[in-house]
Amino acid sequence: MKRVADFAKDHRVRLLQGAQELFPAMTEAMDAAISDIQFETYIFDFTGSGAQVAEALIRAAQRGVRTHLVVDGVGTGPLPKTWQQRMKAAGVQVRVYSPLGPLGLLLPHRWRRLHRKLCVVDGLLVFCGGINVLDDHYDPNYGELDAPRFDFAVQATGSLAAQASQTMELLWWRMQAVRDVRLHRLPQAVRDLRAASAARHARQQDRDARGIRAALVLRDNVRNRSRIEKAYRRAIGAARHDIIIANAYFMPGGKLRRALILAANRGVRVQLLLQGRYEYFMQYHAARPVYGALLAAGVEIHEYEPSFLHAKVAVIDAHGEKPWATVGSSNLDPLSLLLAREANVVVEDAAFAIDLRQRLVHAMQHAGRRMDPARYAGRPLRQRVLDRVAFGLMRLALWVTGNRY
């Protein structure tokens, strides 16, 4: 399998759990920004603590920092008029990725969404993970939550920050440029950006030459169509002791399922922490038909119940010779792995992997319910029918898009 990630050992990486840890770190970085802030998110909601992030963007723009915000046309929709006006007056430049238009999601090409959550400050500091701009205790569809949403992000410095910055800059140009700008100004912009990124990289290497080994792994519909899934499969194939995956929308394709089953068959302990609460029909029911083969192979499935599990993380062999961990936006389902723009950070560092592992084990032990294979096999007929209907609809949707999974 060819290389799927460009690793460098010049990083400082910090694990952040929930908006309660991410938003203060992010707003602190924005308040210290000197030149530019690049921000992409699937959901930008202004309720509760989400407003803190919006206020930080406005403060930065008001003092002259170039501030770019990209939100997804499905996940976010129209911004509230008051916030639109405030951002525009401050100088925050906002773009909507793939607005739906009159036919909405009836057009299959509209299923390709911007699902990554990235924020780069001054080209040197990056935040990446699964956390939207959304208060931990609030859900747009269900209102106030009894317990905080379970999710993670990382804060990192190093060469992957420059890579994230370049990726976001190119998307920004593609979204806003008219034909003459694309033909005449974009090549020069790319050259300037690459030069700036190289300079930032050199400065960061000088400062963090003994840092953590990490990489940014992207998924798009051009050059990086399968890199995140391949990164998972390679790490699972190399596992020797244990695998823990926490994933919100879990419907792995055949290759990924076989990799997990083979790992379990060779004696690796495989534990999955998955969504236990009903959120969406497809997400809840389409996942369940794949559980049977995993349970039969000895894979442990734990369902998270206190609140919505939104994490997209994994840790493998944290205490072994080759620890591996990932935190990002990509679910292990067809929408993330075949259609959406996603971003994950992969970290090969024992201390980071152990920290993440401890948090996931605690969640499984104190907030999860282990699925009993007999109970799964004996679930009511109505539920099994709904599971199969959802699974069939998902396969039909993939056929419409021309994808195999």
How does pLDDT run across 281-311, given as a tens digit for each residue? Answer: 988 999 999 999 999 999 999 999 999 999 9
Q: How far is 45 from 135, CA to CA, in rounded Å?
A: 8
> Which position has the higher pLDDT, 192 or 264?
264
- Told to judge if 117 belongs to the known catalytic residues of this protein, a careful annotator would answer yes
- Told to judge if 241 belongs to the known catalytic residues of this protein, a careful annotator would answer no
Helices (H), 177-271: 179-180, 186-207, 227-238, 254-265
For residues 259 and 233, is the Cβ–Cβ distance under 8 A? Answer: yes
Tokens 């998924």 sit on residue: 219
pLDDT, one tens digit per residue, over 200-258 is: 444 444 444 469 999 999 999 888 989 999 999 999 999 999 999 999 999 999 999 99
Burial status of residue 109 (CB atoms within 10 A of its CB: 0-12, 13-18, 19 or more): exposed
Identified catalytic residue from 45, 317, 333, 387: 317
- Told to judge if 72 belongs to the known catalytic residues of this protein, a careful annotator would answer no
213 SS3 class: strand
- Told to judge if 317 belongs to the known catalytic residues of this protein, a careful annotator would answer yes
- Told to judge if 184 belongs to the known catalytic residues of this protein, a careful annotator would answer no
Q: What is the pTM of this model?
A: 0.91
pLDDT of res. 200: 46
Identified catalytic residue from 11, 137, 230, 310: 310
In degrees rounded to 5, what are phi and psi of residue 390? -65, -45
- Told to judge if 312 belongs to the known catalytic residues of this protein, a careful annotator would answer yes
Q: Which domains does the chain have, with CATH numbers?
A: 11-211 (3.30.870.10), 227-401 (3.30.870.10)
Q: What is the DSSP letter of 35?
A: S
pLDDT, one tens digit per residue, over 98-122 is: 998 887 887 877 889 999 999 999 9
Percent share of the chain, pLDDT over 90: 79
Strands (E), 340-399: 342-348, 368-370
3-state helix, strand, coil in the chain (%, to 5): 45, 25, 30
Residue 187 scores a pLDDT above 70: no
